[in-house]
């Protein structure tokens, strides 16, 4: 029987208090970690096979091992809780229901990377989550989990919650560091990498809130044991999967990593609402390429989804039903990306509006067939020639549309109207 880890305290329907959290085994991971060497903590995370839950899937243990832990001076660990990928609602739950789990994860992560200062960077709209975190930080401070010489280990760490003020680009790790420094959240060029010169030009490690929340469980169970929780050989641990759209039971589910997409939609999401049928989905946010019905058996994990030409992203699935026009869906996506572009590089700032315009012309029935080539050329060049991952993410679903829904797109042009509108 599958035992939930991340969501086991979610049943309160409110933030689990420190007492409740500890009663369920909370802060045992921290106690255990503080008895290990930082290198052993990193090794456990490497063994666990944990990969970044923010969407890129970079192996977490390896990221930590790259952090410059030798140079003297302050190091930072930042939790990226700037959840803003459209269709994604997993970190909100983690912070609203079990804030201590994130804090414990941050403390262990900070211990492993020798960071004396931790930040939780949270979007401003998450008022409840921010309150829950701030309360939890106070509780944890009172209990001696945060501060000087934590639990007599000699390790000290302070934690601050930073409430941002909007903008998707703040979620890009180098842009986030700029934002935290009180600068405009434009991405930085790499190198230097945050591992050596990040926040305040000091060694900095950044992980998604869910990634950090996994850490206490990995320490408690042992890396290898946690790894085996996955649904398939190549996977690791558990993962929060979300599902939204016209399914019977939209929501968030903690499942073994690599649970097939079909099972998430049909078993956990309850299948399509009556009168609607499945057309396609975005597997993990607005920047992940479309998946069509013939690929629904794919295990939801980074490599497996990449193999079928998409990306798992955040693992929060947005389902398109048969009433959704794919062109309009992409217009909606591009509206988001053109608006949120930080304005730093040309392909993103000026290329995305071009893509948006062509999509609108197609939808309005005024585009010519050869504009599809212009669209394709735009997408391909934006994809390969942008400063950060924002613009490639913006056009990736459009590229998949041109591959998978070419007929539907061409029909718009031939009929000179949207075929989905009667």
Residues from 212 through 251 that contact another protein (CB under 8 A): 242-246, 250-251
Alpha-carbon distance of 332 to 315, in angstroms, equals 20
357 touches another protein (CB under 8 A): yes
Q: Where are the beta strands (DSSP E) in 178-300?
A: 204-208, 238-245, 251-256, 278-282
Q: Which residues pair with 207 in a beta bridge?
A: 79
Instruction: Output the smallest distance, CB 254 to another protein, in A.
Output: 14
318 touches another protein (CB under 8 A): yes
Alpha-carbon distance of 265 to 263, in angstroms, equals 5
**Pick 48 or 378: Cβ nearer another protein:** 378
Instruction: Output the smallest distance, CB 226 to another protein, in A.
Output: 26
- Binder of another protein out of 347, 394, 395, 412 (CB under 8 A): 347
179 touches another protein (CB under 8 A): yes
Alpha-carbon distance of 6 to 315, in angstroms, equals 15
**Pick 118 or 235: Cβ nearer another protein:** 118
350 touches another protein (CB under 8 A): yes
Angle in degrees, 0-180, between the axes of helices 390-404 and 352-364, rounded to the nearest 10: 30
Using CB under 8 A as the binding rule, the residues of this chain from 134 to 153 that contact another protein are none
374 touches another protein (CB under 8 A): yes
Q: Which residues pair with 161 in a beta bridge?
A: 120
The CA-CA-CA angle for residues 250, 254, 257, to 5°, reads 115
Stretch that binds another protein, among 7-15, 16-24, 48-56, 156-164 (CB under 8 A): 156-164
Instruction: Output the smallest distance, CB 224 to another protein, in A.
Output: 33
Using CB under 8 A as the binding rule, the residues of this chain from 53 to 112 that contact another protein are 83-89, 91-92
Instruction: Output the smallest distance, CB 55 to another protein, in A.
Output: 13
**Pick 111 or 320: Cβ nearer another protein:** 320
Alpha-carbon distance of 278 to 220, in angstroms, equals 40
| Residue 379, both tokens | 């997408």
**Pick 39 or 322: Cβ nearer another protein:** 322
- Binder of another protein out of 378, 396, 401, 409 (CB under 8 A): 378
Stretch that binds another protein, among 101-109, 180-188, 301-309, 410-418 (CB under 8 A): 180-188
Stretch that binds another protein, among 140-148, 303-311, 328-336, 399-407 (CB under 8 A): 328-336
Omega cis (within 30) before 120: no
- Binder of another protein out of 222, 332, 408, 418 (CB under 8 A): 332
3-class SS of residue 341: coil
| Residue 85, both tokens | 């990928």
**Pick 226 or 387: Cβ nearer another protein:** 387
**Pick 77 or 320: Cβ nearer another protein:** 320
Q: Where are the beta strands (DSSP E) in 299-377?
A: 316-321
Query: Per-residue b/e over 243-266, b at no fewer than 16 CB within 10 Å?
Result: bbbbbeebebbbbbbbbbbbbbbb
**Pick 234 or 251: Cβ nearer another protein:** 251
Using CB under 8 A as the binding rule, the residues of this chain from 381 to 410 that contact another protein are 381, 384-387
User: In the chain, what is the straight-line distance between the N-terminal and C-terminal CA atoms, in Å?
Assistant: 48
The torsion angle over the Cα atoms of residues 35, 91, 242 and 352, rounded to 10 degrees, is -130
126 touches another protein (CB under 8 A): yes
Stretch that binds another protein, among 7-15, 41-49, 339-347, 403-411 (CB under 8 A): 339-347
28 touches another protein (CB under 8 A): no
Q: Where are the beta strands (DSSP E) in 65-183?
A: 76-81, 117-122, 158-163
132 touches another protein (CB under 8 A): no
Interface with another protein (CB under 8 A), residue total: 80
Using CB under 8 A as the binding rule, the residues of this chain from 272 to 291 that contact another protein are 282, 286
DSSP letters, 23-59, are HTTTTHHHHHHHHS-HHHHHHHHHHHT-B-TTTT--B
**Pick 185 or 231: Cβ nearer another protein:** 185
3-class SS of residue 291: strand
263 touches another protein (CB under 8 A): no
DSSP state of 348: I
Q: How many residues appear in the chain? A: 422
- Binder of another protein out of 333, 363, 398, 412 (CB under 8 A): 333
């Amino acid at each position: 029987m599958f035992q939930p880890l991340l969501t086991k305290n979610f049943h309160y329907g409110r933030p689990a208090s420190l007492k409740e959290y500890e009663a369920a085994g909370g802060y045992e991971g921290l106690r255990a970690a503080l008895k290990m060497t930082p290198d052993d903590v990193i090794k456990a995370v490497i063994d666990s096979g944990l990969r970044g839950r923010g969407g890129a899937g970079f192996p977490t243990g390896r990221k930590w091992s790259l952090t410059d832990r030798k140079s003297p001076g302050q190091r930072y660990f930042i939790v990226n809780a700037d959840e803003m990928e459209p269709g994604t609602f997993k970190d909100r739950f983690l912070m609203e229901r079990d804030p201590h789990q994130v804090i414990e994860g941050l403390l262990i992560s900070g211990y492993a990377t020798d960071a004396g200062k931790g930040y939780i960077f949270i979007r401003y709209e998450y008022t409840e989550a921010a309150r829950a975190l701030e309360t939890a930080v106070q509780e944890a401070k009172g209990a001696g989990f945060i501060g000087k010489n934590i639990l007599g280990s000699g390790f000290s760490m302070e934690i601050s919650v930073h409430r941002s003020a909007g903008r998707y680009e703040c979620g890009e790790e180098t842009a986030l560091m700029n934002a935290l420094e009180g600068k405009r959240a434009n991405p930085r060029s790499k190198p230097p990498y945050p591992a050596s010169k990040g926040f305040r030009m000091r060694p900095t490690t950044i992980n998604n809130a869910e990634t950090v929340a996994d850490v206490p469980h990995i320490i408690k169970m042992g890396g290898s044991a946690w790894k085996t929780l996955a649904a398939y050989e190549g996977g690791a641990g558990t993962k929060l999967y979300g599902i939204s759209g016209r399914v019977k039971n939209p929501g968030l589910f903690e499942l073994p990593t690599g649970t097939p997409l079909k099972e998430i939609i049909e078993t956990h999401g309850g299948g399509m609402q009556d009168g609607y049928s499945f057309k396609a989905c975005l597997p993990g946010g607005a920047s992940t390429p479309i998946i069509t019905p013939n690929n629904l058996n794919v295990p939801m994990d980074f490599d497996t989804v990449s193999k079928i030409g998409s990306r798992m992203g955040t693992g929060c699935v947005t389902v398109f039903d048969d009433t959704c026009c794919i062109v309009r869906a992409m217009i909606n996506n591009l509206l988001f990306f053109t608006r949120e572009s930080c304005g730093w590089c040309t392909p993103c700032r000026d290329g995305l509006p071009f893509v948006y315009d062509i999509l609108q012309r197609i939808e309005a029935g005024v585009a010519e067939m050869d504009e599809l080539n212009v669209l394709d050329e735009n997408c391909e060049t934006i994809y390969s020639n942008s400063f950060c991952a924002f613009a490639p993410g913006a056009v990736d679903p459009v590229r998949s549309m041109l591959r998978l829904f070419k007929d539907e797109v061409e029909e718009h042009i031939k009929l000179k109207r949207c075929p989905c509108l009667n």
